[in-house]
Structures are given as C-alpha cells and as structure tokens.
Amino acid sequence: MMKIITDKLTALKKIKLSKLHLILIALGLLVLLGTISAIYLQKRQQGFLREGSGQPQGWGQRPGGAQDLGEPPSTSLKPRWSGSIPKPPKEKITYYKGIWGATWIYPEEHSNLKPEPEKYRGWGVNIINISPGFEINKNGEVRYPLDFPTYEDMDARIGEIAEMFYKEDIYLAMTIQVHYKEEFVRGAEWGGETAYIPKEKTQIPGYFKNFDNIVVDMAKIAQKYHLELFSPLGEPENVFYDPKLASDWSQQVLPKVKKYYKGKVYYKGDLHKGEGDNMNFRGYDVLGIMPHPAELAYNFKALREKVVINMDKGLAWAKRDGVNEVVVAEHGYEGGGKMWPAENFDILLEESSKRLNGIFLSDPFPTVLKTKQGEQIISVMKRWFSSK
C-alpha cells in the first residue's frame, strides 16, 4: 500500500503543485485505500468471498462441506447445546413403532409443536424420525435452514434432541429434505417461500453436487449421535420426478453415506404408484413405502385391499434387492390441518403389524389431540403398539 502511495507522489512531483496540494492528495489516497481494505476485510469475515473465485461462500462453509449462503440470522446468536454425547436406548428395536416428527428439529416458536418424549413413550413409541430441511437454488447452491445456519448449529441441535429422547428410551432417525428457492436472499429473514425443485433442474448433471456434501455432513452427525436410521433424502422418486434418476442418485450417494455412517441406511420413499418396479434399492437396510392411496381413504374395505397389495409390492422389491426391512414411511396426515380417521389408522397399523417391520405415524396436531378424533387415534395407536 505504501509503495502505491509513494509512486503516486513521485508522479505528482513532476507536476508543479504546491506542498499543500501534495499533502491533501496523499491524505485522500490514504483514506481511499483504507476504505477499500476495510470493506474487503469485512466481506471476508462475513463469508461473502471465496478465495480465487469472488463467488458467494457464506456461513457454515467447511472444507469439503456444504455451502450455506446468506448472513447469519439473529437466531444463530442463541447459545448452542453443548452437552456430552448421549447414549442411545439399550433395548434393541425389533419392530419400529415410530412417529414422523419431521418439524420437531425446529424451535417451537417456528414449528408450533413441542416435542414431548415422555408422552410419546406412553403411546408405545420407540423411534422418532426428524427431518432437517435444506434449500437449493437455481445454481445448485445449498444452504442450511434459518434456525441452524451452520454445521455446528445443526450438530448441536441434533445432539440436544438425541439427549431429550434417549432419556425416554426412544431412538432417533433422520431424513434429509431439500426445497427449492430460485434465488437466495441475504439478510436476517432469508425471505421467500420454498417450493419443489423444477424438473428441468433435477435432470442437470451435477446439479445436486453441493447437496451431496450436505448429505455427507448429516451422515457424520447421525453417526456421532448414534441415530438408528439415516435417510439421505425423503422420497427421491418425487424429488427427481423420475424413478430411474432417483434410483441412480440413491445408489451413487450410498457409498458416500456409508463411509461415515455405520447404522441402518434408510430409503424413505413414497412408491405407492409402483415406482419401485424400475428402481434399485440394493445396499439399503430399510425400505420405506407409503401404501396408502388417498382416494380410498374413507372406503375402508377398498383401502385395506389396496394397502395389502402395495405392502406386498414393497416386500417383493426388498426381497429382489436384498433389503432386510420394510416399513410404512409416513401415515396419518390428510392435509389442511386434518388427520385421517381412527378407522383408517387401524387398518394401516393392523396390516403393517402382520406384514412389515414397522410403521411411522404422523403426530396428531395439538388441535386434533384435543378432539374426540384425536383421542380415538391415540387409543388405536397405543393398542397396536403395545401388541408388538
């Protein structure tokens, strides 16, 4: 910097200027260069520049890890959980009596749900599936969720939840979700609605490269906190809009996961349209299906017949590909804040108990729990879970 200033002054001396002019010009150059340096350092500290590229990098970037664009939201200033690594329950699972508690990973003020492990244990639940959601933009850049904007924040949150549930002898599973946002908005709110990834994006070679890094990061956390199941992506066949692409991605990401995670790798699928006929689940330990056709939800006789057919398909796919266990991946939420009726739950619980290795049910909303319907759903759940 001093050399630049000296060169400028030497050049100026060749021009006949007064000493006062020279002093003022030198001061101006110092101020200008100081301002530029300050801005540069500030940007580097905020994570908006990457060495050698000038591209956004962002908070949460780790060597070999995933990108996370945007300024840290105010929630990142909250103290992180910092307990010791909790020990999982001692009693081994022989049948998954699960709750699909996808949003429980987020703070209560955002999810409107408060995890109550003691209550779930009273229902007979032995495993909870949580689901952190990441965002991907049009360029394939990925960032962590608003409440846990860095790897370290997410790591601490998973540890906190594991401690909470392990105390009640309830295991944890994790399923990764990804949501699309055309552009990332920097700022505390990270505004804008997420959406499904456009089909044309999912078919671009390399588009999910950064997301693969996210999966690896989460596999490391799943191993660290002894999670029973780990699913690299929820319903890949629906994310990719193509069973073949979903199958190819699921296979290529599998060795990356198994390098760090030594538990059961879980394909959490939907598959009720028969997509598994054209997919490969080899190498996965657990296959999750959703055998429930919504159009038959209230026609209980037809529903039972179709559910059995779909369960048998899932079992056939698992046998074909050497997958040891098949479960109902998710069941119970109708949409619009409503749950399926208790008779519907009863059918799924009965048939899964006879044919599969477990089931994950949607946790009834607090508003539903306070109703007669909620009481009936919990009664049915407890009856079947206590029988296994």
Locus of tokens 């919990």: 378
Domain ranges for the chain, please list them. Answer: 2-46, 74-387
Quick check: 292 and 345 in contact, CB under 8 A? no
pTM of the predicted model as reported, rounded to 2 decimal places: 0.81
| Helices (H) then strands (E): counts for the chain | 13, 13
Instruction: State how far the Cα of 214 lies from the Cα of 232, in Å rounded to an integer.
Output: 9
DSSP state of 156: H
| C-alpha pair distances (Å), 284 with each of 18, 127, 267 | 80, 19, 7
Dihedral sign of CA atoms 148, 154, 156, 158 in order: positive
CB-based contacts of 129: which residues, under 8 Å, 6+ apart?
98, 99, 100, 101, 102, 172, 173, 174, 175, 229, 231, 268, 360
CATH number for the segment(s) 74-387: 3.20.20.80
Instruction: State how far the Cα of 347 lies from the Cα of 120, in Å rounded to an integer.
Output: 21
Instruction: State how far the Cα of 299 lies from the Cα of 167, in Å rounded to an integer.
Output: 40
Instruction: State how far the Cα of 352 lies from the Cα of 273, in Å rounded to an integer.
Output: 18
Quick check: 76 and 154 in contact, CB under 8 A? no
Of 177, 257, 250, 170, nearest to 222 (Cα)? Answer: 257
10 Å Cβ neighbour count for 112? 11
Per-residue pLDDT of the chain (388 residues; tens, 9 = 90+): 555 445 544 554 544 445 555 555 555 655 555 554 444 434 333 332 222 322 222 223 333 334 445 445 544 457 889 999 999 999 999 999 999 988 888 887 766 777 889 999 999 999 999 999 999 999 999 989 888 889 999 999 999 999 999 999 999 999 999 999 888 876 545 444 557 899 999 999 999 999 999 999 999 999 999 999 999 999 999 999 999 999 999 999 999 999 999 999 999 999 999 999 999 999 999 999 999 988 999 999 999 999 999 999 999 999 999 999 999 999 999 988 899 999 999 999 999 999 999 999 998 888 898 899 999 999 999 999 999 8
Quick check: 75 and 146 in contact, CB under 8 A? yes
